[in-house]
Amino acid sequence: MRADGHTYLVVNAVPGDHIAFKQVEKRRGALRGELISIVESSPDRVSPSCPVASQCGGCAMQFLNPAKHSEVKSSWVFDAFSSCRHLHATYLPSDPVSAAARRRIRWYIGHDEQGTFLGFRAKASHSVVRHDLCMSATPSLNRLRQELEGSAELVALDAYESVQAIELDDGIHLILEGASFPSGLDIPFQQIDGMLLQWWHRCEGVTRPLHKPVQQFHDRLPTGEVGDISLLVGPDDFIQGLTEGNRLMIEQILEWSEGSSFVVDLFSGIGNLSLPIAAAHGSRVVGAEHNDASVRAANANAKRLNLDANFIQANLFENFSIEPLAGADLLILDPPRRGAKKVCSMMGRLLPAKIIMVNCDVASGGRDGEMLQSLGYRLHTLRALDLFPYTGHVEAMSLWVR
């Protein structure tokens, strides 16, 4: 919202609304306001499909007509990179994606007069909101939550802070978080909707299986005409929240990476973006990632798939050795929300011919893009991609050339 020359973030306001609000705080560099009343409704305002939309902190765009979501989110990407766009740069707005497809979820433990339940936290609060059905989650995860609530006493859910679930192609990792390791826990069920479950316990950063043999699950990734490959994904490995969105991202990267024989993948995770390139184009891949477990997983996946890829541990927010990373045909940059300021400042020494940047925070992406531009790179293509339906987040993908 714009008022008195300032921009405010106001929960449950919709573009085009005229509202009364009050400023409540400034957090993470942004002024925030609390909605008091709607003076005049936007024509794009709708009644939310979710009955707890006004309370739950999970989906910030429930009051906006879903037909407008892609347009609004695409405009965020377009505006964030405004200082880098030029006449000949291609811009690709976001296409709609499936809403009920969120495959990675963290529920928090709540208590009310009906008993113990699993829900999402309320907006700007640690209180937990009970819900019957999450419209963003996959059907299997909704069913899993119901089964867990029905087994709350047997599983001793009261002892935990949260439960994480990661749905993959051939099974679900289920992680109980926040209590000491249980002794003698009887696993109440090991399948949901025909999918296998692997139960885990996590406390103080250590994840241990709750039953053996340990089930291994995989994520299927596209590689163009070669067909899909399967990446082994553990309970601590990061994956994108939507299968469909992740595949769209990889398909775009495969198109942009054609002809690249040496690919460097920074913030590489388990190789989600670069191993498909190695499989599709026969490229040599060198990746760097701070998390040791992700580096081990990426190397294990490369070896299992017989791909020419090697991943190393490096703190990409500090000084790191560029020797194995310099002179690539293509450099992939997929940083966390804080961006990749340090890496971008070193691009004059890394000297890749092309850069693909993927940003889950478009503001930091636009800032990093300005740094690339100052070092002689030109924005070739900018694409918005919605990997977070109904939320106030959007992914920015950009291709840069020298």
Q: Is the domain of 159 the same as that of 288?
A: no
- Residue 209: how many CA atoms within 13 Å on its side-chain side? 10
DSSP string for residues in 110-134: EEETTEEEEEEEBTTSS-EE--S--
Q: What is the pLDDT of residue 366?
A: 96
Residues 205 and 259 in one domain: no
Structural domain including 135 reads: 104-217
Q: Are 381 and 90 in contact (CB under 8 A)?
A: yes
Rounded Cα distance between 151 and 139, Å, is 19
Rounded to whole angstroms, the Cα distance separating 239 from 166 reads: 9
pLDDT recorded at residue 209: 96
With respect to residue 298, please indicate whether it lies within any of the assigned structural domains: yes
Asked if residue 175 and residue 155 are part of one domain, the reply reads yes
> How many CA atoms are closer than 13 Å to the CA of 216, on its beta-carbon side?
5
Q: Are residues 274 and 395 in the same domain?
A: yes
**The pLDDT value given to residue 2:** 66
| 199 and 251 fall within a common domain | no
Q: What is the CATH number of the domain that holds 139?
A: 2.40.50.1070
Average pLDDT per consecutive 10 residues, the chain (402 residues; last block may be shorter): 72 87 75 87 92 86 92 95 91 87 96 94 90 92 97 93 98 95 89 96 95 96 94 96 95 98 98 98 97 95 98 95 96 95 94 97 96 96 93 95 94
- Residue 341, CA atoms < 13 Å, CB-side half-sphere: 6
Answer yes or no: is 54 within a domain. no
Q: How far does Cα 56 stand from its chain's mean position?
A: 19
Judge if 173 and 195 occupy the same domain.
yes
- State pLDDT tens for residues 203-256: 999 999 999 999 999 999 999 988 999 999 999 999 999 999 999 999 999 999
Domain assignment present for 58: no
Please count the structural domains in the chain: 3
Specify whether 311 is located in the same domain as 261: yes
Examine the domain organization and report whether 255 and 384 are in the same domain.
yes
Tell me, what's the pLDDT at 29? Answer: 61
Are 260 and 370 members of one domain? yes
Residues 379 and 265 occupy one common structural domain: yes
Residues 250 and 188 in one domain: no
Kindly state whether residue 225 falls inside one of the protein's structural domains: no
Place of tokens 């829900």: 119
Catalytic residue among 50, 56, 134, 360: 360
- Co-location of 250 and 390 in the same domain: yes
H/E element holding 36? strand 30-40
CATH number of the structural domain spanning residue 343: 3.40.50.150
360 catalytic per annotation: yes
Q: Beta partners for 112?
A: 115
Q: Looking at the domain assignment, is residue 259 inside a domain?
A: yes
